[in-house]
Amino acid sequence: MRKNFAVIGDPIEHSMSPIMHNDLFQFYGLDAEMKKIHIKKDFLQSGLSELRDMNMAGFNVTVPHKQAIIPFLDELDPLSKAIGAVNTVVCENGRWIGYNTDGEGYLKGLLKQLPDIKQRRTLIIGSGGAARGIYFTLAHYGVEQVDICNRTISKAKALKEACPYPVKTNIMEIALAEKTLGEYGLIIQTTSIGMSPKIDASPIQMSNVMEGAFVSDIIYNPLETKILKDAKAKGAITQNGIDMFVYQGALAFEKWQGVFPDTTRMRQNVLTQLGGLTC
C-alpha cells in the first residue's frame, strides 16, 4: 500500500521537498509519494483536518506553520518541545508526532564549511520557527555569543528568554545590526525575505559586513539571494540554504523510513532541478 507524504506551507510553490523525497523513494524502492499542499496561514486548522482525512504517513512543515501547528499535534519530541517549533511530523496509528530537524540539519551543513563556529560571534536575522531551531541548536552546541536582530523586538526577546541553554545574547533592531555588522564572524539569515519570487528583497544591508565573515542564508531558491550577493561583493564567504535543506530532509526521511539517505544524491538532485551550483 502506497504511503502518502506531503509538505505544507504558505507559500508552497517554491518547495523542492517533493522532488528530493520522491527521488529517494524511487532510489530505495519504496512505494511512497510526496506532494505539495498549500494551506493558507488563516486556514491551518481546516487544512490539517483535511490532511488527517488523507491518511498521511508523514509530512514536512514550512513557513508560516512551524509554531502554529503545535496545538494540533498529539505528541512532541523533547527537542521540538524545547524549540517550540516543528518541521517534521510522523503519523503513526492515527497519532501525529512532531519533530524539529531544522537546527540539527543546519548545524551539520554549517560545520562542513565552518568548523570553528564556537569562537565566532554570531548574528541571527529573524526570530521565526527556523531561527528558533538554529538558535537553540547553536547554543546547545556551545557557540559563545549569538545575537538576534529582528523587525519586532518583542519576538526576539521572547526567543532569547525561551532558550533553555546558556548563551550570551544581545537583542537589537535591524538598524543597529546594520551599523555593527562588522563585529560578526558569522551572520545567519533565517527569514523568508529574498525567497523566490521576491528575489530583489533583503532583510538587512550588507554595507558594513567584515571581509572574510561567513554569511549564511537558509533560503535555497534562488541559489544566491540578494543578501548573499551583497555580502560576497564585500569579500564575505557565503553559503545558501542547500546544505540545511538537504540535511534536515535527510533527518526527516530517516524518521519516516528508518534509513539515513544518500545526502550526496539529494544535493545533486536539488541542484540539477534549480539549474546551478551553490554559492
Confidence of residue 205 (pLDDT cuts 50, 70, 90): very high
Determine the pLDDT at residue 279.
37
Place of cell 490539517: 48
Determine the pLDDT at residue 278.
41
Determine the pLDDT at residue 196.
85
For residues 133 and 82, give the distance between their C-alpha atoms in angstroms, rounded to a whole number.
9
Q: What is the pLDDT of residues 246-271, one digit of tens each?
A: 999 999 999 999 999 999 999 999 99
16 annotated as a binding-site residue: yes
Place of cell 519504496: 30
Characterise 223 by phi-psi region: left (phi > 0), alpha (psi -120 to 50), beta (else): alpha
Determine the pLDDT at residue 157.
98
What integer is the mean pLDDT of 61-74?
95
Of 229, 237, 242, give the one whose Cα is nearest residue 277.
242
Burial 131-162 (b: 16+ CB within 10 A, else e): bbbbbbbbbbbebebbbbbbeeeebbeebbee
39 annotated as a binding-site residue: no
For residues 104 and 225, give the distance between their C-alpha atoms in angstroms, rounded to a whole number.
23
* 19: phi then psi, degrees, rounded to nearest 5: -65, -45
Of 70, 16, 32, 6, give the one whose Cα is nearest residue 259.
32
Burial 91-104 (b: 16+ CB within 10 A, else e): beeeebbbbbbbbb
**Active site members:** 66
Cβ count near 55 (within 10 Å): 12
6 annotated as a binding-site residue: no
196 annotated as a binding-site residue: no
Per the CB < 8 A criterion, the answer to whether 159 and 127 are in contact is yes
The residues with which 149 forms a beta bridge, in sequence order, are 125, 172
Q: What is the pLDDT of residues 237-252, one digit of tens each?
A: 999 999 999 999 999 9
Task: Quote the pTM value.
Answer: 0.88
The residues with which 122 forms a beta bridge, in sequence order, are 146, 186
